[in-house]
Amino acid sequence: MAEAQDTPGIHGTAAPGWEPVRMAFARNLTRLGERGAAVAVYRDGRKVVDLWAGARDVDGDAPWQSGTAQVVRSATKGVAAAVPLLLHQRGELDLDGPVGAYWPEFKAAGKERTTVRDLLAHRAGVPVLSEPLTPARALDLEAGAEALAAQTPVWEPGTEHGYHAHTYSWLLAGLVQRVTGRPLGRWVAEEIAGPLGLDLWLGLPEGEAPRVGRIGELPEPGAAAGGLVLRPKREVAEAYADPQSLTRRAFGVIAPAPDENTPAYRAAGLPGSGGIATARALARFYASLQGRVDGHRLFDPATLELARGQASAGPDRVLVVNTRFGLGYMLHGPAAPLLAPGSFGHPGRGGSLAFADPESGVAFGYVTNGMRKGVTADPRAQALVRAVRQVTG
């Protein structure tokens, strides 16, 4: 692979032919205000891009290193969703069975017929809680699960869909704990991250803390050159502005909002937002969903189609735009521009992005410490995706 050192400030490697990705990555730093980031790409199970640059901390000057990891927010959902799908693949979980068959307390307040499939496809009807959780209760996965078990759905489960921005954490954690007897983060460590050698954690071990940078907000980029910035429709802007809207309530189920840089947050490993990973780990993870990586493959062909087959589509009760979901994964579309129509993965609010595209054999991971508000499709991630598309045709 070609060294990236000929581009000042860029470290790592890019295989011959993948120079457009390195060039886009450099432009993110010089034109789009990137503070620190990494990008990795696998193709057909082989790593072809592995680049990093900038500062490790959004508010500091220490350099980003090869093994620097960051909180990736909702990009965590794609990792967590693999757990119930793998349990189904192993015959331990029925996707069409009721959640209450595994989690008896969940059979309450109109959720008796909610299926595991509904839960994974954001059709469970519980994107909000009647009362927000304090940060301390939210970081206790069992306390969050208990709150969800008692919650009355805001629509009949299975009839509509809406992004379960935060409640996804406790839904998946509660289900997996009861099916396997293990916390979801431990299951990921033992069954996914360990065998694949991934620097990826849902629950950061204390000894890994020095590797993790600080994330924080960056100014909105506006109409940054080369960026895809979708100005919200009036109804979307109104939904985010109205404290009583389903949108605001879904994103405000933890009050006050927790500090994502604290040891407590990093250790909790919220399955919907608290994962910590390198770009290299995310790309390798998605490569293993669609094919073999050093002898390891996670999804068989049938499970792969479950992940990326459309399970929900149309107006999203929470995001107030049209969205598309497979079982646990966002699918390519205006709300989540990925590489191609067959791509599946998950963005993290404000920055990070990871996905697979089985048709091209591409698996992609991008991690940043600079989070941006008001961006539907982050210009930095989209610049990198366009560069990958340029290479793959």
Long-range contacts from 227-234, C-beta under 8 angstroms, 24+ separation: 227/32, 227/378, 227/379, 227/380, 227/382, 227/383, 228/337, 228/376, 228/377, 228/379, 228/382, 229/374, 229/375, 229/376, 229/377, 229/379, 230/334, 230/376, 230/377, 232/374, 232/376, 233/320, 233/321
In the DSSP assignment, the letter for residue 193 is I
Q: Which residues of the chain have pLDDT under 70?
A: 1-8, 220-232, 374-376
Residue 387 is predicted with a pLDDT of 98
Q: CA-to-CA distance for 90 and 83, rounded, in angstroms?
A: 11
Among 116, 50, 87, which Cα is nearest to 287's?
Answer: 50
Contact call for residues 177 and 332 (beta carbons, < 8 A) = no
For the annotated catalytic residues, the residue numbers are 74
Strand partners, 312: 325
